[in-house]
Amino acid sequence: MCMDGVSSDVVHLLISTAQCNIATLLLLSSAWVRYAGTTRSLSKDGAYAFIITAQVGKATLPPVFVLYFR
């Protein structure tokens, strides 16, 4: 089962690595958005908006990767 000289295991490994890299970047950015919500210079509403946005982003990542990147 070779496709253009590359085995399917290698292709699967490369896709899995890319998925992990994308997920890592999105989770880190979500963490930084949440951290930005803890600054004292923001109003309470602004801080709440940052934290809720980060939580929604973090909560939606796992289902998206399970459904679309099998």
What does the pLDDT read at residue 65?
Answer: 72
Token pair, residue 58, equals 């973090």
Compute and round to an integer the Cα radius of gyration of the chain: 18
Query: pTM here?
Result: 0.64
What does the pLDDT read at residue 1?
Answer: 45
CA-based nearest residue to 33, from 52, 60, 8, 10: 52
Per the CB < 8 A criterion, the answer to whether 1 and 36 are in contact is no
> How would you write the pLDDT of the chain (70 residues) with one tens digit per residue?
445 555 666 656 566 777 778 888 888 998 899 898 888 888 989 899 989 999 988 888 877 777 766 6
